[in-house]
Structure 1
Amino acid sequence: MVTDRRLDEVGARLRGAVDELPTGSPEHAAALAEYRDALTSLRNRPDGFWIAGPDPLAAEHALTGTVALDSLASVTLLSDGATRLVDRFGLASWDEALAVLDSAGPDELIRRTREAEDSDPDGRRWPRGKAHDDATVLHWALS
């Protein structure tokens, strides 16, 4: 598995008040605006993180890896909003999330993520920038 944690590492340094305030409150909105400005200043910089969308040259800084095709059962790509069930909420392991994808598909993984988000609309249990994040999943079973 290849995972780029640079945004997580930068975010952890900057989040402070965002994680301490109720999601959706005016104070949270102000802290979130400051956080986003700070992130913007570190986007596509060596001391920050890389996003290819706004700058295709950022792809030169991508983390890559290889695995033997015959060792794979599936290939899965997830946006950060779709990884929340595992890496933000801790309600599933990666093996469990892949089992959901194999048995019920992306809609079920996203449904479970939305259910968790709905159970904590103020971000008290799981501090986060917004109550719901966009969630995109591509899951390709190879067998």
Structure 2
Amino acid sequence: MRVRLASSPARPDRPNEDFVAAGPDVVVLLDGAGAPPGTPSGCVHGTAWYARSLGGVLLAEIVPERSLPEALGRAIERVNGLHGDSCDLGHPGTPSATVTIARRHGGMLDHLVLADSVLVLNRPGGELVISDDRLAITSKALRKSMDALPTGSTEHTTALRSYVDSLASYRNQPGGFWVASTDPAAAGEALTGSAPLQDLDEVALLSDGASRLVDRFGLLTWAGLLGLLRHNGPETLLAQTRAAERDDPEGRRWPRSKTHDDATAVYWALRD
């Protein structure tokens, strides 16, 4: 398999809360759901630790005889045990993460997408874009007041804290959205599917910080993003994303919770 990947933290003084890894015939990408600094979480380890821990355990749990939701559920359960007695797993701010998996198995490419990262499958007839939009639907009304304020301002920071607090009550609830955290049952809510390998040319996995040139900024199409990854690599995609963000630091053109986000992109060429 030929895989290229790149990851960039939102800020150099804060840990990257994305996680990405590739093993034989599988790629795993997680985007930790970070909260504003000082927000209580009930966990002494932090979001970056959670994303790394869950990602590493998940990679080990993905074996041929196991479905992807089963592997994710087992990984969530195992990481619950890693928290230890020092963490309150019932706290609404307990760390969580999106999960995106692509696995080559038995002539098929299996996938799993949980929460708002993006998987793009390139087929001869065009791109198939898979993203879980339940978070976007749930958050649309909750974030209106925040999006009307300049990103980074004191007022925006206050509104962001309120938004995060409000969103917590919808997490892993029917009618809300689902994400990997402490409940293994969330794995069963993921979007899953399979496609014949013979019908696919390439695959891209993107955290929402890396997909925003298309789905938030509208500066690229999905075909253009795949072409950029194919010819220039994930590093170039992330560099162009950072350039666009710097051109709109206060989020006036593209409202968002923070000027920069952790960004991770994976390009997997399925044909040599």
TM-score with structure 2 setting the length: 0.51
1:34 aligns with 162
Task: Return the match for 1:114 from 231, 242, 256.
Answer: 242
Task: Return the match for 2:192 from 64, 86, 89.
Answer: 64
Change (3 A) 1:7 1:126: same
2:153 aligns with 25
Task: Return the match for 2:255 from 119, 127, 139.
Answer: 127
1:96 aligns with 224
Task: Return the match for 1:7 from 129, 135, 159.
Answer: 135
SS class of match (1:13): helix
SS class of match (1:132): coil
Counterpart of 1:19 in structure 2: which amino acid? D
Partner Cα separation in structure 1 for residue 228 and residue 250 of structure 2: 27
Counterpart of 1:73 in structure 2: which amino acid? D
Runs of 4+ more than 2 Å apart: 53-57
What residue ranges of structure 2 are gaps of 5+ in the alignment? Answer: 1-127
Partner Cα separation in structure 1 for residue 182 and residue 216 of structure 2: 25
SS class of match (2:263): coil
Q: How many residues align?
A: 143
Q: CA RMSD in A?
A: 1.1
Counterpart of 1:138 in structure 2: which amino acid? V
Cα deviation, 1:42-61, whole Å, max 9, x if unaligned, reads: 11111111111444331110
TM-score with structure 1 setting the length: 0.95
What residue ranges of structure 1 are gaps of 5+ in the alignment? Answer: none
Change (3 A) 1:18 1:139: same
2:209 aligns with 81
Q: Which has more helix, going by share of residues?
A: 1
User: Relative CO higher for 1 or 2, CA cutoff 8 Å, sep ≥ 6?
Assistant: 1
Q: Which has more strand, going by share of residues?
A: 2
Counterpart of 2:171 in structure 1: which amino acid? R
Q: Identity over aligned residues, as a percent?
A: 55
Cα deviation, 1:12-54, whole Å, max 9, x if unaligned, reads: 1211111100000010001111111111111111111111144
CA-CA distance at 1:65 after TM superposition: 2.0
More deviation, 49-58/60-69: 49-58
